[in-house]
Amino acid sequence: MPSELKTVGLFLVTAVAEIFGCYFPSLWLNQGKSIWWLVPGAISLAAFAWLLSLHPTASGRVYAAYGGVYIFVAVLWLWAVDGIQPTFWDLLGALVAIAGMAIIMLAPR
């Protein structure tokens, strides 16, 4: 089980890196912030790609399972950063995505 917790933790950090990598450029494009926001955005996206490479299993499986964690983190972002309380359906969808991740990553091989 510790290996599975490490994998989920790594997925969480990876999702945050990807979201920041997209959020920083959106500050420049959509909110008129400085173009310098592209620098931490690029660093975050590079970290995202590197973090995905740390998983020991087949890349296609990692990407599929990671998608579930990304959905969950994006719903948390909606609430924490955008200030929009997730609906029941947002939360249910995130839980379904997490269940999908668990099926993919924890299935016997």
Please spell the DSSP secondary structure of 42-63, one letter per residue: HHHHHHHHHHHTT-SS-HHHHH
pLDDT of residue 106: 80
pLDDT of residue 44: 96
pLDDT of residue 65: 83
Q: Mean per-residue pLDDT for 15-28?
A: 93
pLDDT of residue 1: 54
Tell me the three state secondary structure of residue 70.
Answer: helix
pLDDT digits (tens, 9 = 90+) for 26-74: 999 999 899 999 999 999 999 999 988 887 676 777 788 888 989 999 9
Residues 6 and 57: their CA atoms lie apart, in Å, by: 13
